[in-house]
Structure 1
Amino acid sequence: MDSPRRTTIYDVAREAGVAASTVSRALNNPRRVNPATRDHIVAVAERLGYRPDPLATALQSGHKATIAMLVPDITNPHFFGTIRGAEKRASEAGLTFILANTEESADNERNRIERLSRSVDGFVLAASRMEEETTRELARDYNLVLVNRQVRGLPSAVVDNGAGSRQVVEHLASLGHRSLVYLSGPHRSWPAAQRWRALRAAAEAHGMAARRLGPFPPRAEGGGVAADAGLGAGATALVAHNDLLAIGMLRRLAERGVSVPGQVSVVGYDDIFGADLCVPALTTVAGPQEEAGRAAVELLTRKGSLSRSQPAPQQVVLPSHLVIRRSTGPAAP
C-alpha cells in the first residue's frame, strides 16, 4: 500500500483557482498578494491540510537549506563512495550537508530523523533498516529519499545487484561449482534480500544448489562464524553479504588451513577499498556507489522543487558487475 500523497502547492492552486506561483507568494511573501486573494488561498491551504515543504521553501527563498545523510555504519568503507557522492552534489547545490550514524538500528534511525528535523530540511537514508510502514509514516511528515533501499511510492537511488549476482553464479558455474552458500547480512537489510533472490534464481537456472545462512554481522568480526557455517554446509563456493564479511571469512579460512580458492571459492559484494589488497584478492560485485549518492541528493532537490517538469517521487536504478580476482577458482574435485 502506497503512502498517502502529501498535499502539494499545485493542489492548493487548483482548488483556489490561481497559479502555483500565486500560492507561493501568498504563503511565503504575503505582501506581494492582494489581501483578499491571500486570505482565500490560506483558507484553501488549511482546508486541504497543506504544509509548506521546508526544503522547497529554502530553495525558493535563496536561504541555505540543510540535508542530512543517515548511514547504518559510518565505519563501513562501503558507504564512503555514497557519502562522497552525496556531499559533492549537496555542495554543488549550495546545501549544508551533515552526516549521522545510526549503528545498524532502525530505532536510532527514526530518532535521528525526529531529533534533527528542527534544523534539517531533507534526509537521505542509506541502506535504511526501518520497516516499510515506518518509512512511509515518516515520509508523510519529512522529506525522505532512499539509497540502496526501495519503498514503493518513495524516491530512491539503488545499485541493482541483480546483474552482478547473476554474473557471480555464471562465473562459479563456469568453474565447475555445483553448490553455493550465501552468508546473509542483517535481517532488515534490503540489499541482502535482493541479492539472495537473484542468487537463488540464477543458481536454479544453472542447476546449482543454493542455500542461505545467517544473518551475520556485516563486519569482518562476523567472518569467523560465517566461514565456519559455510564450511559446515559443504558448499564449494561461499558468497558473503559484503566485502567486510568476506575478508573476515578469508582470515578464518586461513586460520583453519583451508585453501582459497583451492578448496573453496569466496565472493563478496561492494568492491570496497582493500578488496584487491587482501590475500587472496577478493572477487566481488561492484557498483557505482558514488553515483548513487549524487542521484539521491538530486532527487531530494527535485522533490523540493516547484517545477512541474520534475515530478517526484522518482527511481534511479544503477547497474552492478562482477570483478574477478584470485579468491575464486575451479571447484575442488
Structure 2
Amino acid sequence: MVTLRDVARAAGVSLATASRALSDAPHVSPANREQVALAAASLGYRPHPAARALTTGSTGTLGLVVPDLANPFFAAVAKGVQARAHETGRDVLVADTDEDVTAEPDIITRLGDRVDGLVLCSPRLPAEALGALLAAPAADGRVALVNRETPFAPSVSFDLSDGVRQAVDHLRALGHTTVAYVGGPAGSWSDGERRQALAEVAVVDLGSFRPTHGGGVQAADLALAAGATAVLCFNDLVALGVLARLHARGVATPADVSVVGFDDVPAASLVTPALTTVAVPLARAGREAVDLLAGAARGGDVVPERRRLPVELVVRASTAPRDPRLADTTPGSSATAPATSPATIPRTADPEVVIR
C-alpha cells in the first residue's frame, strides 16, 4: 500500500509539505505542489478517507438512505446516485431502513455524521418530524430528497399526478368504467400525490396496502369483489401481485381485467402478460439528487430547489379494450352473480396480513 511518506520521498520533499500539497493548503510553492502531484499519480496514491477528513474537513463520501433496497425502485435510484458520485470522485454509503419509520431518524443522524451529504429517498417520516430533522443547523445544505418534497431541503420528484391522469385516460379510452386503485402505505407522500389526482376522476379506492407483491395479491380479491374491470396499482410490485392472484383465480388479463402499474421496473416487461405501467426516470432522479447536493447550501432565505421529472405511460399487453358483452358480468364469477357495489367494498387502512 502506497503511503504519504512514499509520495514525499518520491517528490523529494518533507512529509509535511507533501501533506499540504495534496490538501491544497497554502504556503506550498507551485513547483513543489506539481512535483507532489506527479509523484502521487505515478505511485497510484489515494488518501485515506479518515486522514482526508481530518485535513480537509471532507470525507469524499455521500450517504443514501432508502426504505427497502430489495425494491427495484430504490435499487434503480441507488444506481443513479452511485454513477453520479463516481463521476465526481466520491463514494456512497447506503443504509436501508427496512420500511421502519421509527428507525429512520437514528439511521439518518448516524450516517449523516460520517458523510459530506445525504440523499434521502422516499423517507417515511411524517412531514412535521422530517421538517424538524431537516431544519436542524447540522442538516443545512447537506441533504437532498428523492420522491419527497419539503420546504427544508432541495428535492427531485416526479410528475405523479400526470402519470395517474395518463393511466386513467388510457383505461377510460379502452372502455373501462369501473377502475379500482390499489394504494400504497398510508403515510406515503407519493401515494398522497396520486390520490390528489385520483380525486378528480371516478375510481374505486381499495385502500392502503404494503408496496409489495403480497400487497397486490391481497388487493386483487377486493378489486374483483368491487366488480372492477381495470386496476391501477401504486407500483409495479403491487401490480405483479395483482396479476398473480388474478391468474390463480382463473381471471384472464387483460381479457377480463386490465392492470396498470407504476415505475416501470425491469420485471414489468418480463412477465406474461407484459405490464402496462407509468415509466419513472429513477436513475436520473438519483443523479440529479447528487447534483442538488453540490449546490444545496442554503443560507439566508434561499428557497431550496425543487425538480419534478416527467413520466410516461408505457402501454404493453396487460391492458385491452373492455369487452361490452361482459358488461353485466363480474370478473371471476358466473354471469348471473351480481357485482358488489363499489360503495360496499371493504377498506383496509394498513393491512398486516400478506397472502403469498
Query: Which bracket does the TM-score occupy, shorter chain normalised?
Result: 0.7 to 0.9
Q: Name which of 129, 133, 142 aligns with 2:128.
A: 133
- Letter paired with 1:239: L
Q: Name which of 208, 212, 230 aligns with 2:205.
A: 212
TM-fit CA distance, 1:267: 0.5
Aligned partner of 2:308 in structure 1 is: 317
* 8 Å Cα contact 2:59/2:114 also seen in 1: no
Q: Name which of 236, 250, 256 aligns with 1:243.
A: 236
Change (3 A) 1:123 1:236: same
Q: Name which of 83, 87, 92 aligns with 1:97.
A: 92
Which is further off, 262-271 or 86-95? 86-95
Q: Which runs of 4+ in 1 moved over 4 A?
A: none
TM-score with structure 1 setting the length: 0.76
Task: Give distance in 1, aligned partners of 2:94 and 2:148.
Answer: 18
Aligned partner of 2:63 in structure 1 is: 68
* 8 Å Cα contact 2:143/2:296 also seen in 1: no
Q: Deviations over 1:253-306 (max 9, x none)?
A: 000000111111100000001101111110000021111101111111211499
- Letter paired with 2:160: N
Task: Give distance in 2, aligned partners of 1:176 and 1:234.
Answer: 14
Change (3 A) 1:269 1:254: same
* 8 Å Cα contact 1:69/1:99 also seen in 2: yes
Q: Deviations over 1:35-90 (max 9, x none)?
A: xxxxxxxxxxxxxxxxxxxxxx97x9484432211111100111222111111111
Q: Deviations over 1:129-187 (max 9, x none)?
A: 01111111111232221101111242100111222211111111111111211100111
* 8 Å Cα contact 1:286/1:320 also seen in 2: yes
TM-fit CA distance, 1:120: 2.1
Aligned residue pairs, count: 271
Q: Percent identity?
A: 43
Which is further off, 281-290 or 93-102? 93-102
SS of 2:295's partner is helix
* 8 Å Cα contact 1:69/1:126 also seen in 2: yes
* 8 Å Cα contact 2:63/2:112 also seen in 1: no
Aligned partner of 2:119 in structure 1 is: 124
Aligned partner of 1:25 in structure 2 is: none
Aligned partner of 1:281 in structure 2 is: 274
Structure 2: gaps of 5 or more residues: 1-23, 28-51, 325-356
Aligned partner of 1:166 in structure 2 is: 165
Task: Give distance in 2, aligned partners of 1:289 and 1:107.
Answer: 26
SS of 1:138's partner is helix
- Letter paired with 1:194: E
Aligned partner of 1:225 in structure 2 is: 218
Q: Deviations over 1:208-263 (max 9, x none)?
A: x3122221111112221110111111121111110001001101000000011111
- Letter paired with 2:162: A
- Which entry has the higher C-alpha Rg, 1 or 2? 2
SS of 1:188's partner is coil
Task: Give distance in 1, aligned partners of 2:220 and 2:155.
Answer: 33
CA RMSD of superposed structures (Å): 2.5
Aligned partner of 1:183 in structure 2 is: 182
